[in-house]
Amino acid sequence: SIDLRPYRGANAVWLAMVGAARGWSTGVFGTYRAWQRHGCQVRRGERSTYVILWKPTTPKPTDDRDDTGSGDETTPGRPRLLARAYSVFAAEQCDGADEIIARRAEHLAQRDTPERIAAAEQYFGAVGATVIEGGDRAYYSTASDTIHLPALAQFDTAAFFYGTSAHEHIHWTGHVDRLHRDLSGRFGSEAYGAEELIAELGAAMWCAQGGLSAVTRTDHASYLASWLRILGADPRALLAVASRAQAAVDHL
């Protein structure tokens, strides 16, 4: 069997967008050689999708002394991250991947089951945030460090309740005592919109991880203009917010 490892950060967001645009439902991607190793063959003429893998690297020490022997001593280089691009193909682009596609379809069909709802309840209970249920608004209060959610019965489905809870828990991770997520330096006046985008991406990542349907919030439309301004002004903004969303999910 194939051990499927989840993509993270911006790669997870990017591949989900590509899959949705192409009508690929499995979300399973691999390099050309990886598919060959598992007895599958990428079909002739199929076009790949690029993903980025960041690898830690430490530059070799440098010696800045001149020919008289004076100058700086040899010092170790500072650790850095090196980005490498890889070409990957979806399971739907390969011959011999029918079993994988069928297995993923079965897995996705089990979304929102009572077992996964129960697991979500246990998960957020273990996180330990102060959650106050009641009222008709979902929000996180920085001042009181509390999450506020409407009662479960007010949601169309239990999955939507936990998806909304995930959104507010992502906000909760940004508190000064946790990840201390200050976006004003990077995003300036658009920091609020960037924080909402982080919460949305983090909630989507969490729902995918937990096997629950992501909820479409009524306030999404009002945020679209600010999100477009952020992404239009800074092409690397999506990488930044996806990285912070992944860090928030990891913290939870």
DSSP the chain: --------HHHHHHHHHHHHHHT--S--EE-HHHHHHTT-EEPTTPPPEEEEEEEEE-PPPB----TTS-SPPPBPPPPEEEEEEEEEEEGGGEET-HHHHHHHHHHHHTTT-HHHHHHHHHHHHHH---EEE-SS--EEETTTTEEEE--GGGSSSHHHHHHHHHHHHHHHHTSTTTT----HHHHGGGHHHHHHHHHHHHHHHHHHHHT-PPP--TTHHHHHHHHHHHHHH-TTHHHHHHHHHHHHHHH-
Alpha carbon dihedral 151, 154, 157, 160, in 10-degree steps, equals -60
According to DSSP, the β-strands at 146-149 and 139-141 are antiparallel
Instruction: Give the strand order in the sheet containing 80-90.
Output: 29-30, 80-90, 49-57
Residue-by-residue pLDDT tens, the chain, 252 positions:
566 788 999 999 999 999 999 999 999 999 999 999 999 999 999 999 999 988 888 877 665 555 555 454 445 667 788 889 999 999 999 999 999 999 999 988 889 999 999 999 999 999 999 999 999 999 999 999 999 999 999 999 999 999 999 999 999 999 999 999 999 999 999 999 999 999 999 999 999 999 999 877 667 677 888 888 888 888 889 989 999 999 999 999
CA 104 to CA 91: how far, in whole Å? 10
Q: Specify the pLDDT at position 172.
A: 98
Predicted local distance difference test score (pLDDT) of residue 63: 56
Distance CA 10, CA 49 (A): 13
- φ, ψ for residue 12, nearest 5 deg: -65, -40
Structure confidence at residue 224 (pLDDT): 81
The amino acid at residue 151 is A
Q: Which residues contact 145 (CB under 8 A, 6 or more apart)?
A: 130, 172, 175, 177
pLDDT reported for residue 107: 87
pTM given for the model: 0.84
